[in-house]
C-alpha cells in the first residue's frame, strides 16, 4: 500500500507545485494546529480518477468555501471525507484532529465529529426522522463511551434544534425525507447537523433549491454552530450564501484539483467573471509543463 502511494505522489509532483502558490497558508501551518489536513488526496470511482491530488488544511473555527464548475469533484471530495466506500482512495492522506481519517468507517468518522449535509439527501421510507436521529445520537454516544440519552432529554433537545432551523414538528414524525420538498430536505440536513453538533460540517450545496427565507434560516443554523473549535466546508455555486456564512477562505476546485484559493473576495470575482479565466490559467499551466 505504501509503495503504491509513493508512486502516485511522485508522478503528480511536478503538476502540484504549479498550483501550490495559490494554496492558503494554513496548509503549511504545523499539523497540531490543523483540524483537517488533506495532502495529495487522489480518489477514483469505477477506474476513473476524479480527485487528482487535493491539498487543503483547515484550522479550528475556520469556514472554507469550495466553488468550482459542475463535475469538478466537489461532491466527490465531500463523499470521500465522509467515508463513502464506492470511492477508492488511490493516494494521499487525510488527518482529522491527528487521526488518520481514511482508516475509519463512515460511522466512525461521524462519531469523531464529521458531518456531511448531502447535495441530494436520501429518502428512507419506513424510518421516521426522529427515530433515525435518536439512533444516530445514541450510536455516537456509545462510540464515545457515553450513556444513551433518555427519551425526555432527547425530545427536549430535538425540539430546541427544530426551532432553531424552523423545522416543522410534523416533519420529524414522517419517514425520513420521504416526500419532503427539496427545501424541506435541505432544512432537514441542517437540522440534523444542529442535533449532532459536529466539529467539521461539510455542506454540499445546501443552498441550492432554497428560497430566500429558507436560505437565511439555514445560514443562521450554520452560524449558530460557529465557534472557535468548529469548522465548516461549504460547497456552493453562489456567492449569495457566502453573504450569510462568511468564509475565511474560498477555493476553486477544477478537474479534481484546487486550482485557486483566496479570501471571500474571490467568490465575488467568480460571481462576476465566471470560471473561464481560471480554466484558461489552468490550461496555460498545463501547456507549460
Partner 1 sequence: MTFETIDLKTKLITDFHARESVMNGEAKSAFHQKKRAALAQFDTLGFPTIQNEEWKYSNVRDLISASYNFNTSDTLSAEDLVDLKMPEQAANILYFVNGHYNAALSTMVSSTDQIIIDSLQNAYKNNPELVNSYFDELVKDDTDAFTSLNTAFAHDGVFIHIPDNKTVEHPVILRFVSDARQENIGSQPRNIIAVGKNAHVKIAEAFRTIGEQRSFTNVVTEINVGEEAGVEYYKVQNESENAYHIGTTQVRMLEKSHFYAATVTLNGKFTRNNLNIVIDGEHCEAYMYGLYFPDGSQHVDNHTVADHRKPNSESNELYKGILRDRSKGVFNGKIFVRPDAQKTNAFQSCKNIVLSTDATMYTKPQLEIFADDVKCSHGTTTGQIDEEALFYMRSRGISKPEAMSLLMFAFCADVVSQIKIDSIREYLENVIAEKLSRS
Ligand X SMILES: Nc1ncnc2c1ncn2[C@@H]1O[C@H](COP(=O)(O)OP(=O)(O)OP(=O)(O)O)[C@@H](O)[C@H]1O
By the criterion CB under 6 A, which residues form the site for ligand X? 45-46, 48, 50, 68, 70-76, 119
Partner from ligand X, Mg ion, partner 1, none contacting 76, C-beta within 5 to 8 A by type: ligand X
- Does 116 bind partner 1 (CB under 8 A)? Our answer is yes
Of 44-52, 56-64, 101-109, 276-284, the segment contacting partner 1 by CB under 8 A is 101-109
C-beta pairs of 43-48 under 8 Å, 24+ apart in sequence? 43/76, 43/80, 43/87, 43/88, 43/89, 43/90, 44/87, 44/88, 44/90, 45/76, 45/86, 45/87, 45/88
Nearer to partner 1, 175 or 246 (CB): 175
Task: Compute how many residues bind partner 1; rule: CB under 8 A.
Answer: 33
122 contacts partner 1 (rule: CB under 8 A)? yes
- From 28, 71, 100, 143, residue interacting with partner 1 (rule: CB under 8 A): 143
Q: Looking at 68-76, 139-147, 181-189, 222-230, which segment touches Mg ion (CB under 5 A)?
A: 68-76
- Is 194 near partner 1 (CB under 8 A)? no
**From 56-64, 112-120, 224-232, 256-264, span contacting Mg ion (CB under 5 A):** 112-120
Residue of 55, 75, 177, 206 that binds Mg ion (CB under 5 A):
75
Q: How far apart are CA 38 and CA 93, in angstroms?
A: 6
What are the contacts of 266-269 at 24+ separation with CB within 8 A? 267/65, 267/67, 267/239, 267/242, 268/239
Is position 121 an interface residue for partner 1 (rule: CB under 8 A)?
yes
Helix (H, G, I), strand (E, B) or coil at 270: helix
Distance of alpha carbon 105 from alpha carbon 85, whole angstroms? 9
Can you list the alpha helix ranges (DSSP code H) found in the chain?
2-20, 74-82, 106-112, 129-143, 151-164, 169-173, 182-196, 212-225, 239-244, 265-273, 276-288
Return the half-sphere exposure (C-beta side, CA atoms, 13 A cut-off) of residue 176.
19
Q: Is 58 left (phi over 0), alpha (psi -120 to 50) or beta?
A: beta
The binder of 249, among Mg ion, ligand X, partner 1, none, by C-beta within 5 to 8 A per type, is none
Binding of Mg ion at residue 236 (CB under 5 A)? no
How are beta strands 200-204 and 175-176 bridged, if at all? Answer: unpaired
| Least distance from partner 1 to the Cβ atom of residue 116, Å | 5
Distance between terminal CA atoms of the chain?
29
Report the residue from 140, 203, 219, 253 that binds partner 1 according to the rule CB under 8 A. Answer: 140
Burial class (CB in 10 A: 0-12, 13-18, 19+), 1: exposed
Among 15, 84, 216, 264, binds partner 1 (CB under 8 A): 84
* Residue 73, binding choice from Mg ion, partner 1, ligand X, none, Cβ under 5 to 8 Å by partner class: ligand X
SS3 208: coil
DSSP annotation of 87: S
> Nearest distance from residue 209's CB to Mg ion, in Å?
13
- Work out whether 86 is an interface residue with partner 1 (CB under 8 A): yes
Residues found near partner 1 in the complex (CB under 8 A) = 82-86, 105-107, 109-111, 115-116, 118, 121-127, 131-133, 135-137, 139-140, 143, 175, 192, 196
Interface with Mg ion by CB under 5 A: which residues?
74-75, 119
Amino acid at each position: 500500500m505504501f509503495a503504491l502511494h509513493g508512486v502516485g505522489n511522485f508522478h503528480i509532483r511536478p503538476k502540484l507545485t504549479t498550483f501550490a502558490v495559490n494554496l492558503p497558508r494554513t496548509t503549511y501551518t504545523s499539523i497540531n494546529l490543523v483540524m483537517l489536513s488533506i495532502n495529495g488526496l487522489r480518489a477514483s470511482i469505477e477506474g476513473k480518477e476524479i480527485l487528482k491530488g487535493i491539498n487543503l488544511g483547515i484550522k479550528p473555527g475556520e469556514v472554507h468555501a469550495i466553488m468550482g464548475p459542475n463535475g469538478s469533484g466537489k461532491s466527490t471530495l465531500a463523499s470521500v471525507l465522509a467515508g463513502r466506500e464506492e470511492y477508492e482512495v488511490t493516494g494521499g492522506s487525510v488527518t482529522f484532529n491527528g487521526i488518520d481519517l481514511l482508516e475509519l468507517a463512515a460511522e466512525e468518522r461521524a462519531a469523531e465529529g464529521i458531518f456531511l449535509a448531502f447535495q441530494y439527501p436520501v429518502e428512507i421510507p419506513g424510518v421516521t426522522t426522529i427515530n433515525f436521529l435518536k439512533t444516530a445520537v445514541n450510536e455516537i454516544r456509545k462510540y464515545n463511551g457515553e450513556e444513551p440519552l433518555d427519551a425526555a432529554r432527547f425530545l427536549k433537545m430535538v425540539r430546541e434544534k427544530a426551532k432553531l432551523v424552523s423545522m416543522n414538528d410534523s416533519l420529524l414524525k414522517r419517514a425520513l425525507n420521504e416526500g419532503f420538498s427539496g427545501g424541506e430536505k435541505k432544512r432537514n440536513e441542517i437540522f440534523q447537523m444542529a442535533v449532532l453538533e459536529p466539529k467539521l460540517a461539510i455542506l454540499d450545496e445546501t443552498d441550492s433549491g432554497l428560497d430566500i427565507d429558507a436560505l437565511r434560516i439555514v445560514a443562521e443554523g450554520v452560524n449558530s454552530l460557529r465557534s472557535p473549535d468548529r469548522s465548516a466546508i461549504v460547497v456552493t455555486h453562489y456567492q449569495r450564501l457566502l453573504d450569510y456564512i462568511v468564509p475565511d477562505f474560498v477555493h476553486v476546485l477544477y478537474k479534481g484539483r484546487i486550482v485557486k484559493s483566496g479570501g471571500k473576495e474571490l467568490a465575488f470575482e467568480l460571481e462576476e467573471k465566471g470560471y473561464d479565466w481560471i480554466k484558461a490559467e489552468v490550461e496555460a499551466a498545463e501547456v507549460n509543463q
